[in-house]
Structure 1
């Protein structure tokens, strides 16, 4: 079943063209369930992977002494997922989620959440605008998605995002990892820091 992320609003300010990575499958669509989708990540995608992985690496379990530290451009999606796994080791569910929250906060300039709340109050327009920007911004992380119509407090609006086949869940192969390292901390981050309720339901 396709995943649905019902977004009240998620503000991300990157243009559609600059964050799109390609699927290497002949059809241009995710591989059928049970098969791993092949992606072709470009420069922008590698930048995001490197940034997030290096931030998360600070929270990861200690590496073996003979393990060489990766350079910024050496991170790919697989190594990004491996860093996530090391962050999980030796931590409780709550501690894992808090680590991800700290990583997300560290990616923002000081005072960003407060400024965001002023610029984007939780209106229907803001919800639809931010949902539209979510599709290209999160493409590198969760794979292709599309904006859909959802009902929020009895009002229909195009503020939902359907993820066709979650790349993070597909590569990690672990529902618990997906929930604690992506779903819950991301939902809490946008809800508590930005004041914009978010519900994500990823699937393979």
Structure 2
């Protein structure tokens, strides 16, 4: 995957990233979109990543925040056989090495979904309250999904929350994802237990300025809370 940034323009406040997906990237996007279409019982006429985002928007229709998260969990669980998930839960303990390996793996396998990322160090608070410095953080420079969807609710309900729950339930690995709605970056910290969503800044996030071409609101996005 190649990322091409357009030349700066004084009239443009947010530069849209242009992706040149490889054959493998396109295959991953197609497979994930196919799983989404099956879970929601819908199809899309759009191709590639546009189709993936369109299916995400269809998932939102007629579903509250909890239902949106649940349908994404169905998609995530369908990506791996249940026997594999059960084996991983049995054999893999959520120690520092495992968390660091997950961070390394994420930066190399999911660029097609979220864009370029890198491993960073983070202070991780364990269940005993001890704080450890470990390389289990993934810094997503500019999330492709958030940038293209332009929807705070899709980010929270259909990425952040289901991904955190998937790793906790299926792999026994705590994960905290912290999106930045100003520059579209995101930090994932494997091994860090997330706060209740009501205590996070994302819970009070207004709709994005560019979403729907309307004037940005200062009130929390209702689709995140309902």
TM-score bin, normalised by smaller chain: 0.7 to 0.9
* Structure 2 residues without counterparts, runs of 5 or longer: 126-130, 185-226
Q: For residue 105 of structure 1, what is the aligned residue in structure 2?
A: 77
Structure 1 runs, 4 residues or longer, greater than 4 Å off = none
My pick for the range that moved more, 188-197 or 116-125, is 116-125
Instruction: Report the RMSD for the aligned CA atoms in angstroms.
Output: 2.0
Query: Does the alignment pair 1:40 with 2:40?
Result: no
Larger radius of gyration: 2
Match of 1:190 among 158, 164, 167: 167
Counterpart Cα distance in 2 of 1:143 and 1:202? 14
* Structure 1 residues without counterparts, runs of 5 or longer: 1-20, 64-68
Q: For residue 201 of structure 2, what is the aligned residue in structure 1?
A: none
Corresponding pairs, count: 172
Counterpart Cα distance in 1 of 2:28 and 2:69? 20
Q: For residue 38 of structure 2, what is the aligned residue in structure 1?
A: 58
Query: Does the alignment pair 1:162 with 2:139?
Result: yes
Counterpart Cα distance in 2 of 1:42 and 1:111? 31
Relative contact order, CA 8 A, sep 6+: which one is greater?
A: 1
1:7-46 alignment, distance < 5 Å:
21-25=1-5, 34-46=14-26
Counterpart Cα distance in 2 of 1:85 and 1:168? 12
Match of 2:109 among 125, 137, 155: 137
TM-score by structure 1 length? 0.78
* Shift, 1:79, TM fit: 1.1
Query: Does the alignment pair 1:176 with 2:183?
Result: no
Counterpart Cα distance in 1 of 2:151 and 2:13? 15
1:64-110 deviation per Cα after TM superposition (whole angstroms, max 9, x unaligned): xxxxx66xxx7311111001111111111111111000011111112
Counterpart Cα distance in 2 of 1:89 and 1:61? 12
Counterpart Cα distance in 2 of 1:82 and 1:62? 10
